[in-house]
Amino acid sequence: MSKLTIAQLDLAKRRVFVRADLNAPLDHGTVTDDTRLRAVVPTIQYALKAGATVVLASHLGRPKGKVAPEFSLRPIAERLVSLLDQHVELAPDCVGAATLERARALGPGQVLLLENLRFHAEEEANDDGFARSLATLAECYVNDAFAAAHRAHASIAAITRHLQPAAAGLLMQQELAALGRILESPDKPLVAILGGAKVSDKLTLVEHLLDRVDALLIGGGMAFTFLASLGHAVGRSLVEPDHLDTARRTLDAARRRGVALVLPIDAVVADGLDSAQGRAVGIREIPAGQMGLDIGPRTVERFTKALTGARTIVWNGPMGVFERTPFAAGTLALARAVAGSQAFAVIGGGDTVAAVTQAGVAEQIGYISTAGGAFLEFLEGRKLPGVEALTDAP
C-alpha cells in the first residue's frame, strides 16, 4: 500500500493527532491485557522523539454514544504512564473548548489522551462536524489503529478531510506490510488455516483465498458444514443448512483450481460445551446425540503434514472451543505446528492470538496482527476506510 508514513512527516514542534486502538479489557478499572497499548507505544515514542506533541485518541467498549464512567479511558491513561515512563494527561472530553485549550497548551514531548471517542454518537456516524472539531486539536494526522481501520468512523475517515497530511503509524505500516505480503507476493507454497464457528462469517474470505493459496485447512465449527455437505452425519455439531450448497461449490472450486482443501478426519466429541471431557472419534462415527468441539489427534497430524514445505502460512480462527480445557488440545497442537514450521506465519483474530499465546509460541510466529475484523476484511480484498483515507505517498 503506497501511503504516506509517519517517517515522512516533519513533526518538530507540531501537534500530531494519533488515532490508536486502545480498546483494552478492563477488570474493576484495571487493564488486564495491555497488548494493544504496547503495540502503539513505538509510534508515540517516535513522534515524541521527533519533537511533537501527541494528541492521542481511541474508543473503548460500546458506550452507545453516551458518557458512561465504566468506559472512561482513565485506566488506559494510567497504564500508558508506566509504558511510556512519562505523564499522560487525560482530557475531560475528546472535543470542546476545554479540550482544545489543553491541546494547545501542550509543549513538545507531552501527551494528551482524549476521553472516549464513542461517548459521542457522531463518532460512529462518521459525522463531518464532529470530525472537524477533532481536527482542530492538531496539525497533522497519524492513524495507527489498523484494528479499527475497517470502520468508517469520524476519527478514522472523516477527520482526514480536515486534517492533512494523514499518515500511517508504525503499527499500521507493519500490518499493511505483513498482510500485503500474503496477498501480493507471498513466498509459495501458501497455506491458509481457517477455523471459528460459522462458514457464513468467512465465505468471502474463502472465495478470495482460493485464487491465492496452495492449500486451505478448515477446522472449527465451520468444518462441519463442509462435512455435512459431503453427506457425513455430524450429530449435533454446528451446521448451517443454508450454506450446504455453498460449501459444495467451494469444494468443487478448490478441485478445479488444484487447491488442496483439507478437512478434519476425526473430532473430539461430547454432549455439550459444559462436558468435563471429550473423546476422539472418526468423522463417520460421531454419535447422533453428541457434537464435535475440537479437531482430533489424527486431524492434527493431517494438518501438520499439510504444512510441510509451506513458505507462508496465514491463520484465523481456532480449531475448536479452545477456551474450554477439554477442547483445547487441537488448537494448541496446531499452534505449535505452525510455530515449528519454516514458513513466515501471519496470525490474526483475538481467539487465534490467544491460542498461540496460551501455547507459549507467540514469539515464534512471524507476525501477529492486532486486528480481527480488519484482518479478515483486508484478506477478503476489501478496501478499508482507514487505509483509503490516508494520504498517498509521493
Q: Which of 198, 302, 324, 336 is the catalytic position?
A: 198
List beta partners, residue 190: 312
Give the DSSP letter of residue 3. B
| Whether residue 330 lies in the annotated active site | no
Strand-strand pairing, 367-368 and 344-347: parallel
Do you find a cis peptide bond into 189, omega within 30 degrees of 0?
Answer: yes
Report CA-CA distances (Å) from 53 to 12, 106, 111, 382.
9, 7, 6, 34
61 is catalytic: no
To the query of whether residue 198 is one of the catalytic residues in this protein, the response is yes
Minimal CA–CA distance to 354: which of 365, 344, 342, 343? 365
Q: Which residue has the cell 513466515?
A: 344
User: Quick check: is 66 catalytic?
Assistant: no
The residue annotated as part of the active site, out of 350, 366, 372, 381, is: 350
Residue of 51, 61, 65, 373 marked active site: 373
Residue 41: closest CA among 144, 114, 118: 144
Q: Determine how many CB atoms are found less than 10 A away from the CB of residue 287.
A: 14
> How far is Cα 314 from Cα 281, in angstroms, rounded to an integer?
28
Q: How large is the angle between the packed helices 329-340 and 350-358, nearest 10 degrees?
A: 80
Please state the φ and ψ torsions of residue 374, each to the nearest 5 degrees: -65, -35
If you ran DSSP here, which 8-state letter would residue 191 be given?
Answer: E
Grid cell 502503539 in the structure block, residue: 40
Q: Looking at the chain, how many residues does it have?
A: 394
Give residue 276's Cα distance to chain centre.
Answer: 31
How far apart are alpha carbons 144 and 310 in whole angstroms? 31
Strand partners, 113: 56, 90
Please list the residues that pair with 112 across neighbouring strands.
55, 89
Residues 236, 291: Cα–Cα separation, whole Å? 5
Q: Kindly name the residue from 36, 118, 202, 212 that is annotated as catalytic.
A: 36
Q: Residue with C-alpha cell 507531552?
A: 110
Q: For residue 178, give the DSSP letter.
A: H
Q: What angle do CA 241, 242, 245 make, to 5 degrees?
A: 95
Active site residues: 36, 198, 350, 373
